[in-house]
Structure 1
Amino acid sequence: MELRHLRYFVAVASERSMSRAAERLHLTQPSLSRQLRQLERDVGITLFERTPTGTTLTPAGVALHQHALLLLRLADASRDAAHSASEHTREVVDIGIPPGLATDWVLETLAALRAEIPHASVTLTEASSTDQLRMVREGRLDLGLVHERPLALRGTRLFDQAFGIAVRAGHRLAGRSTCLVRDLDNLRLLAHGREQVPVAHDRLIVAAHDAGAVPLWRFAQFSEHALACAEASEAEAVLLTEHSAHRLLPGWPWVPLVDPPLELTTWVVWQASTRPVVEQVAELISGRASRRVE
């Protein structure tokens, strides 16, 4: 017994006419008659009484009709459920983000992902660049937003953020429009430890050395507690991007570093061999980049 035979059977029972049912089903009447005879052979009993005035159900046909209606409703519901599940299936894409990334940019990127790649379900994990690179290589993250040029991974350079110093109100450098690297000499300066941003850390040390400056370094691991770390170390200034300075050290004037300028670069990185949805998410994020990795 096939579902299509039951559909033909129900149509004839509803129309009480073989010709009208055939028209409704877009079949020829002889074809419909053959299908119904096959159904009767399958169940082993006569289902219709054919009279000059139409087609009526036999008692066996009445009994089958009730079951046929239920079976067809279940079949339709199953098909709709399958289609609905298919349309709403989403693939999880795990993305790492570093502390201090601009919230507005993150939210705008998430909105773009929802609009353009609706089948991607994004989760975010906050971690340092070093941890993210390890997690991407281990397969624990699909994508990482990091502050290091990726090695043995695919990646796109997204944007650069200028480094500067947030200084205590009233400090001699607070009124400056810019700060030379050599002005850091003898300054109690709080900076991230090398484990958090190794490339930026090394560039800062080299730049200060080349400029002849010897800051009184205070290194610490911090993300949200810059103010507490500054107080604990009695720092006069904290090395941060402008966004992080305004968020973490309100009331501390921020001054960009120049001569030479120092920048924090953000990359999006992923494994060379990955799922298509990860490629799509990486491509969308990369489309927001200022330039490509060669």
Structure 2
Amino acid sequence: MELRHLRYFVAVAAEGSLTRAAERLHLTQPSLSRQIRQLERDVGAPLLERAATGTTLTPAGVALHAHAVLLLRLADATRDTAHAAAGQTREVVDIGIPPGLSTDWLLPALAGIDAAVPHAAVTLTEASSTEQLEMVRAGRLDLGLVHEQPLGGLRGARLFAQPFGVAVRPGHALADGPACRLRELDGVRILAHGSQQVPVAHDRLVLAAHDAGAVPRWQFAQFAEHALACAEATKADAVLLTEHSATRLLTSWPWRPLVEPELELVTWLAWQRSTRTVVAEVAEELIGLGRTP
């Protein structure tokens, strides 16, 4: 006994006619008659009374009809459930994000991924650039948003850059003015991220200060959310940060962009050269969205 035989039988019962049921099912009447006879052989009893005016159900047909309708409903529900589940299947894509990444960029980026790659289920892991690159190489992250150009066999794409500046302690002489020249930091106690947290930016900053003839009193530390506490602990006159981080973490400290030369914090996307299709699709979307921070 097959489900299609039950569907044919239920259609004949509903129409009360083999001819009308055949038209509804897009079958020829002889073909439908053969299918019904096969069902009767499987059941071992006649199911229809055939007459010139149409068909009626035999007692065996009445009994089978009730079960057939229930079975067909269950079969349809099972198919619809499986189809819906298949349509909702999403692949997890693990993305690393650095501390302090602007939510003004991150939240629209996540919305863009959801719209462009609906079969991707994104999870986020906050970690430093160094930690992220290690995790991407080890396969524990699919994508990393890092502040140094990915090397060592990884693929990389530049997303955007944000200018570095200094958040200056209120009342300090550097607090006035639209910008701060790097040589003005000579002798100033500056809190900056340590080399383990942002290695490339750290090295570039020290070299740029040397080239500008400035010798700041560097106070290197690893910090993310507690910039103010670290500044107070080190008695720093200024903290080297992007404007977004300064506005969020040091609300009462004026922020001044660094000039002569300008210094930028670049955000890169890193991923393995061989990866899943969904990861490549998310990477492509992020690259497209990363033109503006």
TM bracket (short chain): over 0.9
Q: Distance in 1 between matches of 2:248 and 2:227?
A: 10
Conserved 8 A contact 1:92-1:121 = yes
Contact 1:156–1:289 (Cα < 8 Å) also in 2:
no
Is residue 176 of structure 1 aligned with residue 196 of structure 2? no
Match of 1:153 in 2: 154
Structure 1 window deviating more from structure 2 (2-11 vs 203-212): it is 203-212
Q: Is the 8 A contact 1:158 1:268 kept in 2?
A: yes
Residues 12 and 21, structure 1, Cα contact 8 Å, conserved in 2: yes
Residue in structure 1 matched with residue 114 of structure 2 by the alignment: 114
Question: 1:51, CA displacement in angstroms?
Answer: 2.0
Residues 139-164 of structure 1 show CA distances to partners (whole Å, capped at 9, x for unaligned) of 11111100010011111101111111
Matching residue's letter, 2:289: R
Q: Tell me, what secondary structure is at the counterpart of 1:46?
A: coil
Report the alpha carbon displacement of residue 192 of structure 1 after superposing the two structures with TM. Answer: 0.6
| Counterpart check, 1:165 vs 2:166 | yes
- 1:277 positional shift: 0.8
Question: What SS does structure 1 have at the residue aligned with 2:159?
Answer: strand
What is the CA–CA distance in structure 1 between the aligned matches of 2:179 and 2:13, rounded to whole Å? Answer: 88
How far residue 132 of structure 1 moved from its aligned partner, in angstroms, is 0.6
User: In the alignment, is the contact (CA less than 8 A) between 1:156 and 1:286 conserved in 2?
Assistant: yes
- The answer for the alignment partner of 2:239 in structure 1 is 238
Q: Secondary structure at the match of 1:273?
A: coil
Q: Could you state the TM-score of these two structures normalised by the residue count of structure 1?
A: 0.96
Structure 1 position 52, deviation (Å): 2.7
Measure, in 1, the Cα distance between the counterparts of 2:73 and 2:290: 52
Q: Which residue of 1 aligns with 2:219?
A: 218
Distance in 2 (CA, whole Å) between partners of 1:245 and 1:164 is 9
Residue of structure 2 in register with 1:83 after alignment: 83
Q: Secondary structure at the match of 1:287?
A: helix
Residue 128 of structure 1: aligned partner: 128
**Identical amino acids, percent of aligned pairs:** 73
How far did residue 91 of structure 1 move?
Answer: 1.2
User: Deviation of residue 105 (structure 1)?
Assistant: 0.4
Distance in 2 (CA, whole Å) between partners of 1:106 and 1:290 is 12
Deviation string, structure 1 residues 166-194 (Cα, Å, up to 9, x no partner): 10112111112221211111111100111
**What are the residue-to-residue correspondences of 1:200-211 with 2, within 5 Å?**
200-211=201-212
CA distance in 2, matches of 1:248, 1:19: 79
Query: What's the Cα RMSD here?
Result: 1.2
SS in 2 for 1:160: strand
How far does residue 25 in structure 1 lie from its aligned partner after superposition? Answer: 1.2
Shift, 1:288, TM fit: 2.5
User: Partners in 1 of 2:52 and 2:285 — Cα distance?
Assistant: 69
More moved, 14-23 vs 230-239? 14-23
Tell me if 1:22 matches 2:27.
no
Question: Displacement of 1:55 after TM fit?
Answer: 1.0
Count of matched residue pairs = 291
Judge conservation of contact 1:92–1:123 (CA < 8 Å) in 2. yes
Q: Which amino acid aligns with 2:187?
A: N
